[in-house]
Amino acid sequence: MKKARDSRTRRAGKMTPHPGHGPGHCLNILKQLSAYIDDELPSEICEELRRHLGACPNCEVFIASLRDTVTLCRHRPTPALSASDRAALRLNIIRASKSGSRR
């Protein structure tokens, strides 16, 4: 688990300062929210995220919704999938990963 945390923290990187709360800054925040919720970011980035969230109502609403979604997912049983559903899902994942690697 430590390895995943370290790579996720490295990917998150240091946030670039951006004045205000425009779409560019909010997008940078949104890219790191999952790691933030999972408490996987360095403290200085968490502090910057908290400052932004306290001043940006749109991001506050989004993170509250994301937290609720994560909580619901953690407390719901995993649905059973048929063999054909699993095969179709695997095929879709493979197709998506191949099309994503072409970008």
50-82: per-residue pLDDT in tens? 888 888 888 888 888 988 988 888 888 888 889
Q: What is the pLDDT of residue 42?
A: 93
Least confident of 24-38, 44-58, 73-87: 24-38
Assess whether pLDDT exceeds 80 at residue 19: no
Backbone φ and ψ of 102, nearest 5° = -80, -15
Q: Position of tokens 């999952």?
A: 34
Assess whether pLDDT exceeds 50 at residue 34: yes
Q: Is the pTM of this model over 0.75?
A: no
> Please, are residues 55 and 49 in contact by the beta-carbon 8 Å criterion?
no
State the average pLDDT over residues 71-99: 90
